[in-house]
Amino acid sequence: MKISLNKQQQKAVAATKGPVLVLATAGSGKTMTLTARIVNLINKGVLPQNILAITFTNKAAGEMKQRIQKAILKNAKTNFKITEQGFEPFVSTFHSLGLFIIKENYQKLGISKYFSIYDKQDTTRAVKEAIKNLNLDSADFEIKNIVSYISKNKSKMLTIQNFNTEFIQSAFAENLFKIWQEYEKIKTEDGAYDFDDLILIPTLLLQKNKEIQKHYQNKWQYIHIDEYQDTNKVQNKLISLLVNPETENIFAVGDDDQSIYAWRGSDIENILSFEKKYKNVLKIFMEQNYRSTKNITQAADFIIQQNQNRYPKSLFSQNQEGEKIHLHNAFSEKQEAEFVAQEIKEKLKNKNITENDIAVLYRANFQSRILEEAMLKHSIPYQVIGTKFFNRAEVKDIISYIQAALNPNSLVDLKRVINNPKRGIGPASVVKIFAANDKENIDLPKKAKENYKEFLGILKEIKEQSTKLNISDLIEFTIKKSGFQKTFEEKNTDDDQERLANMYELALFAKKYSGLENEVSTIQFLEDVALMSDADTKKDEEKKPTVKLMTIHASKGLEFKTVFVTGAEDILFSPQADLDQKEYQKKLDEERRLFFVAATRAKEFLYITWCSTRSVYGRTETNLVCPFVLDIPEKLLEYSSTFNVDVSDNDDEDIVYLEW
């Protein structure tokens, strides 16, 4: 199979000795290059079974295997039967690689050959069991937060043995550590590993046992790693332990400009410090973008050039110049969504563009609600990648509070909210409550009884307010009265901020019912939301083309003819203001990289939209355009605005387009 490669790609393919760092920017053909390099090694006489290639997803690993097999089978230079077991490169994810090493060394690890692997449900069960074994009140803990705590520690190569307990400075932190200890005990008794162990255990094994380490260094003499910028500490350590220090045959492909997963443990320093870790590194820049037009490529390059902590490189394209980037300023998020929907309808008049060719991207999940509404209004088939707005847990929580207040017999809603947010009503108390005939006189522990009484009081107040407030105001009242606002603001993590924003987005959606009487507005709202949620959960019976709605994070690795980057505002693309200067700059750099990733998803048409006003956490904020947009030269932009003198929520509002 003949593969056409440019000079930089050829240089990467031909580099068969020593450490190689390929800095492959967006759309530069890195997967094709990595595959061609493996094929070239085999053509030069390297045994396929001496080659290791690591990717981040099973899909990517499968596709790479197919490409390599197809290339080898069509190449007359080799006689290796690559399709036979044991005569092929080892192409896998980190987890599959770790599992392979564990299975080969189960005796040295002191575990059964038939050890189990915990999935998410198993991990959750074991954490709950740990809390119960320690006689702790489960109402005081969020299970998913404990799971995240354990996972993040393991990604940093921390174990219960090497964890520095001097950092434990509160009773809550001490309990977290105890739960982790008990969880590990339960896991050991089950003869099981969790997903994080599949990487951590082999890393610790190779670090401790030099004989085993040497075995794998001899086995895999040529190591390839894709998406290197996404590695965390333990993954990076595992790679370095597998590299033979005498030859250092490691081929790392990545792009520091696309490092956007710090929130889940990825460390950009792994790729930035590659030259310090290995000697005489051959650094190859693959800067030609084959995906996008020249205008899109130039705009993206101007955006990312402003980051300082990066490898200096310039993105370029030899494709046609293409359309200018369309920058659109709307007065509100509703007008922004209306503009996006109308532009999509125009684009779909072109026979060469289908719904599958269009993506609408956003920074935060709460932005999807108004966009979904616009898609429905204009009968545009769409698919939300991730969870649709009305199926998100926090949105359902608020709806369940109102349902439970209005209908005390709705057990499904009562069960959902009775201890949500956590208020000290444990599982045993919940069982007693729902088993009792008289719900107000139940034999409960004193603390649980007080908390249950408080919960009933909250429902009573919500019901009373339902006759006095319209549904939008009732939702805001419920957010505060339920304790969600206080809980999320105290935790103040990115996830909690987004959950709170989604709740207030629900209140914003409910404003459309403000013309109805209070009780009528609530009933109508609940009926409509139930129908929307039901429609969300139904699987598509036909595989028809759909416009894709997704976060920018979810869009990584994808491409579309037309891309809308919505919500390009300073308030959405900026770190928390209370961070110290170093941390603030670090997070701001990642926000810029995120914006760069969004822009480089577009092949032909790129729209960037922003609102002068947006409702966030129930407050209408006045916004400035995201500063990253200002880095794009005016010659690459065309402008339009959507402003309406009447900015009410009337669906039939006339929109005026003004060219700037």
What are φ and ψ of residue 382, in 5° steps? -145, 160
Residues 306-332 have a mean pLDDT of: 96
Look at the chain and count its residues: 660
Q: pLDDT by residue (tens digit) across 210-248?
A: 999 999 999 999 999 999 999 999 999 999 999 999 999
Residues 142-170 have a mean pLDDT of: 91
What confidence score (pLDDT) does residue 600 get?
A: 97
What confidence score (pLDDT) does residue 1 get?
A: 42
What confidence score (pLDDT) does residue 448 get?
A: 83
Q: pLDDT by residue (tens digit) across 319-331?
A: 999 999 999 999 9
Residues 415-426 have a mean pLDDT of: 87
Cα distance between residue 428 and residue 327, in whole Å: 56
**Are 228 and 192 spatial neighbours (Cβ–Cβ below 8 Å)?**
no
What confidence score (pLDDT) does residue 646 get?
A: 46
What confidence score (pLDDT) does residue 645 get?
A: 41
Tell me the CA end-to-end span of the chain in Å, nearest whole number.
51
Pick the CATH number of 391-535 from 1.25.40.10, 1.10.486.10, 3.40.50.1100, 1.10.10.10: 1.10.486.10
Q: pLDDT by residue (tens digit) across 191-209?
A: 889 999 999 999 999 999 9
Q: How far is CA 17 from CA 37, 46, 248, 276, 282, in A?
A: 11, 12, 8, 18, 9
CATH 3.40.1350 fits 116-190, yes or no: no
* Percentage, residues of the chain above pLDDT 90: 64
Residues 248-265 have a mean pLDDT of: 94
Q: What is the DSSP string of 226-241?
A: SSGGG--HHHHHHHHH
What CATH number belongs to 7-100+200-286? 3.40.50.300
What confidence score (pLDDT) does residue 246 get?
A: 94
Q: E strand or H helix at 563, and its extent?
A: strand 560-565
**Are 105 and 205 spatial neighbours (Cβ–Cβ below 8 Å)?**
yes
Confidence of residue 140 (pLDDT cuts 50, 70, 90): confident
Confidence of residue 652 (pLDDT cuts 50, 70, 90): very low
Residues 34-47 have a mean pLDDT of: 93
Amino acid at 161: Q
Mean pLDDT in the chain?
89
Active-site positions read 30-31, 226-227, 258, 601
Q: pLDDT by residue (tens digit) across 502-516?
A: 999 899 888 888 888
What confidence score (pLDDT) does residue 439 get?
A: 59
* pLDDT at 81 exceeding the cut of 60: no
Cα distance between residue 20 and residue 351, in whole Å: 44
- Domain segments of the chain as ranges: 7-100+200-286, 116-190, 316-387+545-639, 391-535
- The topology (CATH level 3) of 316-387+545-639 is Rossmann fold (3.40.50)
Q: What is the DSSP string of 31-79?
A: HHHHHHHHHHHHHTT--GGGEEEEESSHHHHHHHHHHHHHHHHT-TT--
Residues 144-167 have a mean pLDDT of: 92
Asked whether this chain's domains 116-190 and 316-387+545-639 adopt the same fold, the reply is no
* pLDDT at 649 exceeding the cut of 50: no
What confidence score (pLDDT) does residue 77 get?
A: 52
* pLDDT at 76 exceeding the cut of 60: no
Closest CA to 625 of 657, 617, 637: 637
Q: E strand or H helix at 127, and its extent?
A: helix 120-133
Greatest mean pLDDT among 31-40, 112-121, 511-520, 598-607? 598-607
